[in-house]
A and B are shown apart, each in its own frame.
Chain A
Amino acid sequence: MVIALPVFIESLTMSQTPDLECRAISKSFDDFKAVKDVSFSVPQGTFFSILGPSGCGKTTLLRMIAGFQKPTSGDLLIKGNSVLEVPPNKRPVSMVFQHLALFPMMNIGANVGFGLRQRGVNKTDIKQQVERVLERVGLGGVADRPVASLSGGQKQRVAIARCMVLEPDVLLLDEPLGALDLKLREHMKIELKQLQSEFNTTFVYITHDQSEALVMSDQIAVMNHGVFEQLGTAKELYYEPSTAFVAGFVGEANRFAATVESVNGTDVQMITDQGKALRGVDAGQGVQRGDSVDVFVRPEAVRLSRDVSQTGQLGNGGAGRVENILFNGANSQLILRDQASGAEMNIAMPQTGEFRDLTQGDVIAYGWEPQQTRVYSSARGRHGL
């Protein structure tokens, strides 16, 4: 028992060493900072996504992890060891490129076996392992076919198989679904997640498409202008966005510019620039009286009623004229214009069928709770004071 304890502790700490850890990593191109002091760690077996608009530095970050770019400062650890000095062909990470980068001069089997060949594995073993990994991605028996004979989704799976056959510690994916059409993309989202849990490998996935990130990830980092705005689960990002950027970027939201009238704990009273009184909760940024704020409300948080008394007690709301109905099956939306302030509201159409007969020009009452109203101090700074 006494002897076993240190071993036990060691195995415990071993399993807690994250597969990938970035410490204050930065990258500058001349005097432009593409990535600024980003720190995060990814535990073993996690599907970790980096979500951000294009140009925010995602690819640069991923290429630093893969070793194609050298960080200006900061440290990068894989399984606890710094890999800054390790060239890309020696790093225990593999990358699925944006346009897959399958080798057109080789057949599928040679593509998948490429990495093993470089390691000097003997031919019969390569053949077996290639066949096995192709079967795991659902493409058994295609090894002798040329790459061009595959469909987009199949090429995707070959690209993943080509990396997975090397059993990397971390698999990096740079917007791999970007080139696929919408339907296939929806399908591949689910498939990628399944492949990840099947291989139980750590995935670092970058995308600008929030639905890809929300559906697949265990952890998501939202990136903007080279920094991580927030790191959390899909639910946390969606329901408790910690910055105005995240609130606006992840999911749909109605956004108002307002000025704080009074603050009571986290309860904030505001008046929008269009003159509508609102109540909301401080999203943790400590807004004060007189501050300019941005207010976010999700379209599905807003309730509709034909009877003003029902929505009136919710805290926020009013009466609005139907400007437009964007019918999209279960995701239909209603564009309302508030009659008092003229502000536009985007509201998710309830699926109960109660409002099916609503038409353009109708006037209807709407409202939502202050708890669903998140308040962020605005980049515009303070009014008054």
Chain B
Amino acid sequence: MVGNLSKRGYIAAHGGGMVSDKSKLTFWLLMAPLLIWLVTLIVLPHVGMFLVSMREKIGVREYQTSFANYEVFFNEPLYWNTFARTAYMSITATALTLGIGFPIAYYIAKLTRGRTKTTLFLMCLIPFWVSELVRTFGWMILLRETGVFSNVLQYLGLVSGPVEMLYNDAAIMTGLVYTSMLFMVVPLVTTLDSLDDSLIEAGYDLGASSFAILREIIIPHAMPGIVSGCIVVFMLSLGNYLTPILLGGKDSLWFTGLIYSQFITRFNWELGSAFGFLLLGLSSLIVFVGLKLSRQSLTKTMGQA
């Protein structure tokens, strides 16, 4: 121990150690904001929430540690089904966003140049200049019974009376896809931009059809962008609260709505925390399964996209 200490002192006194100490200090100073952010805003609340979720209320101000709150989730079909529905809808929204976003991203990345490209890219950003709440209300104005679409259809004589297009799954889906589009298009444009045009030409030159080129060259190249876009869109949809509630109405049965009502309406923080943790765990599991199915790894995806 003594020998070790004196050796360190020796190195420190002779320059070499000084430099490394200094660079270490710089490193920690640079890391400090990130670490403070991670610890105070993410780790601490989650630890707190976890502790709350493990409390079972057995009397007035009497608690014991148990998994009872988690059991409630698995024993009550409503909770279960709501989660399954939320996950299923989010996966569908992700697939739809990919289906619509990919051609858009391909067009922006490969078929336009210079100013047109920048303009189109910025146009994808424009919806995000207004708040999510306002955007969603915009959809409500379009879709409600006395809204724009309903009136236009009546004016054209395609329907006889007013039509209600709000408060159904299609309305939720529209809102989710609209809200997520940017988060799919940006990573896709970035990866597709990095695809060398001569690879596509080489594909044609070797006799491939457009479909074969899409399948064998473009999609494999864009895979990191597809995966990261899908993860982000899926997580955003799953965790979305405003869109499903506003466009889907009271019975939208979205899991975040369930968590909200446990915390705010019922003051059942224990169950709410347990739901929060279940959402975290189950969504991570779905992403993990998705990555395994598409044979991608998270480090690879994040490194490239």
Residues of A within 8 A of B (CB): 66-68, 87-90, 93-95, 97-99, 101, 103-106, 114-115, 118-119, 162-163, 166
Interface centre among B196, B206, B207 (most CB of A within 10 A): B206
The one of B198, B201, B207, B209 in contact with A115, judged by C-beta atoms closer than 8 angstroms, is B207
Q: Which residues of B contact A89 (CB under 8 A)?
A: 204-209
Q: Is A97 touching B202 in the complex (CB atoms < 8 A)?
A: yes
**Taking the complex as formed, is B57 at the interface, i.e. its CB lies under 8 A from any CB of chain A?**
no
Output the least CB separation between B217 and chain A (Å): 6
Q: Is B204 touching A88 in the complex (CB atoms < 8 A)?
A: yes
Q: For residue B207, which residue of chain A has the nearest CB?
A: A118
Contacts A88-B204, A97-B202, A99-B198 given: A105-B220 contact, CB under 8 Å?
yes
Q: Which residues of A contact B209 (CB under 8 A)?
A: 89, 118
Q: Which residues of A contact B198 (CB under 8 A)?
A: 97-99, 101
A95 to B205 CA separation, bound complex (whole angstroms):
7
Contacts A99-B198, A103-B199 given: A94-B220 contact, CB under 8 Å?
no
A106 to B203 CA separation, bound complex (whole angstroms):
12
Contacts A68-B201, A97-B198 given: A166-B206 contact, CB under 8 Å?
yes
Q: For residue A91, which residue of chain B has the nearest CB?
A: B205
Q: Which residues of B contact A103 (CB under 8 A)?
A: 199, 202-203, 216-217
A95 to B196 CA separation, bound complex (whole angstroms):
16
A104 to B196 CA separation, bound complex (whole angstroms):
11
18 intermolecular pairs with C-beta atoms under 8 Å apart: A87-B204, A89-B207, A89-B209, A90-B207, A93-B205, A95-B202, A95-B205, A97-B201, A101-B196, A103-B217, A105-B217, A105-B220, A114-B216, A115-B206, A118-B206, A118-B212, A119-B207, A166-B206
Q: Is A99 touching B196 in the complex (CB atoms < 8 A)?
A: yes
Q: Which residues of A contact B202 (CB under 8 A)?
A: 95, 97, 101, 103
Given contacts A66-B201, A89-B207, A166-B206, could you give 6 more A-B pairs where the C-beta distance is less than 8 Å?
A94-B205, A101-B201, A103-B217, A104-B221, A105-B220, A118-B209
Q: Is A88 touching B199 in the complex (CB atoms < 8 A)?
A: no
Q: Which residues of B contact A66 (CB under 8 A)?
A: 201, 205
Q: Is B206 touching A94 in the complex (CB atoms < 8 A)?
A: yes
Residues in B180-229 with C-beta less than 8 Å from chain A: 196, 198-199, 201-209, 212, 216-217, 220-221
Q: Is A88 touching B216 in the complex (CB atoms < 8 A)?
A: no
Q: Which residues of B contact A67 (CB under 8 A)?
A: 204
Q: Is B221 touching A105 in the complex (CB atoms < 8 A)?
A: yes
Interface centre among B203, B207, B209, B212 (most CB of A within 10 A): B207
Output the least CB separation between B273 and chain A (Å): 44
A163 to B198 CA separation, bound complex (whole angstroms):
15
Q: Which residues of A contact B196 (CB under 8 A)?
A: 99, 101
A140 to B204 CA separation, bound complex (whole angstroms):
26
A55 to B77 CA separation, bound complex (whole angstroms):
71
Q: Which residues of A contact B205 (CB under 8 A)?
A: 66, 88-89, 93-95
A54 to B208 CA separation, bound complex (whole angstroms):
30
Q: Which residues of B contact A95 (CB under 8 A)?
A: 201-202, 205
Q: Which residues of B contact A106 (CB under 8 A)?
A: 216
Q: For residue A110, which residue of chain B has the nearest CB?
A: B216
Q: For residue B219, which residue of chain A has the nearest CB?
A: A105
Output the least CB separation between A277 and chain B (Å): 55
A160 to B212 CA separation, bound complex (whole angstroms):
21
Interface centre among B199, B205, B221 (most CB of A within 10 A): B205
Q: Is B199 touching A101 in the complex (CB atoms < 8 A)?
A: yes
Output the least CB separation between A169 and chain B (Å): 13
A106 to B208 CA separation, bound complex (whole angstroms):
15
A88 to B209 CA separation, bound complex (whole angstroms):
10
A104 to B201 CA separation, bound complex (whole angstroms):
14
Q: Is A118 touching B208 in the complex (CB atoms < 8 A)?
A: yes
Q: For residue B199, which residue of chain A has the nearest CB?
A: A101
Interface centre among B198, B202, B208, B212 (most CB of A within 10 A): B202
Q: Which residues of B contact A97 (CB under 8 A)?
A: 198, 201-202
Q: For residue B202, which residue of chain A has the nearest CB?
A: A101
Interface centre among B196, B203, B204, B209 (most CB of A within 10 A): B204
Q: Which 4 A-B pairs have the closest CB atoms?
A: A115-B206, A101-B202, A105-B220, A101-B198
Output the least CB separation between A200 and chain B (Å): 21
Q: Is A114 touching B208 in the complex (CB atoms < 8 A)?
A: yes
A345 to B286 CA separation, bound complex (whole angstroms):
78
The one of B206, B208, B212, B221 in contact with A162, judged by C-beta atoms closer than 8 angstroms, is B206
The one of B201, B206, B220, B221 in contact with A114, judged by C-beta atoms closer than 8 angstroms, is B206
Q: Which residues of B contact A118 (CB under 8 A)?
A: 206-209, 212
Q: Which residues of A contact B221 (CB under 8 A)?
A: 104-105
A90 to B199 CA separation, bound complex (whole angstroms):
17
A266 to B202 CA separation, bound complex (whole angstroms):
51
Output the least CB separation between B215 and chain A (Å): 11
Q: Which residues of B contact A163 (CB under 8 A)?
A: 206
Q: For residue B223, which residue of chain A has the nearest CB?
A: A105
A95 to B202 CA separation, bound complex (whole angstroms):
7
Q: Which residues of A contact B212 (CB under 8 A)?
A: 118
A94 to B209 CA separation, bound complex (whole angstroms):
15
Q: Which residues of A contact B220 (CB under 8 A)?
A: 105
Q: Which residues of B contact A101 (CB under 8 A)?
A: 196, 198-199, 201-202
Q: For residue B209, which residue of chain A has the nearest CB?
A: A89
A176 to B15 CA separation, bound complex (whole angstroms):
52
A67 to B201 CA separation, bound complex (whole angstroms):
10
Q: Which residues of A contact B199 (CB under 8 A)?
A: 101, 103
A163 to B203 CA separation, bound complex (whole angstroms):
11
Output the least CB separation between A202 and chain B (Å): 16
Q: Is B207 touching A166 in the complex (CB atoms < 8 A)?
A: yes
Q: For residue B200, which residue of chain A has the nearest CB?
A: A101
Q: Which residues of B contact A162 (CB under 8 A)?
A: 206
Q: Which residues of B contact A87 (CB under 8 A)?
A: 204
Q: Which residues of A contact B203 (CB under 8 A)?
A: 103, 114
Output the least CB separation between B15 and chain A (Å): 41
Interface centre among A89, A104, A106 (most CB of B within 10 A): A89
Output the least CB separation between A120 and chain B (Å): 10
Output the least CB separation between A139 and chain B (Å): 18
A119 to B202 CA separation, bound complex (whole angstroms):
15
Q: Which residues of A contact B217 (CB under 8 A)?
A: 103, 105
Q: Which residues of B contact A115 (CB under 8 A)?
A: 206-208
A90 to B204 CA separation, bound complex (whole angstroms):
8
A89 to B199 CA separation, bound complex (whole angstroms):
13
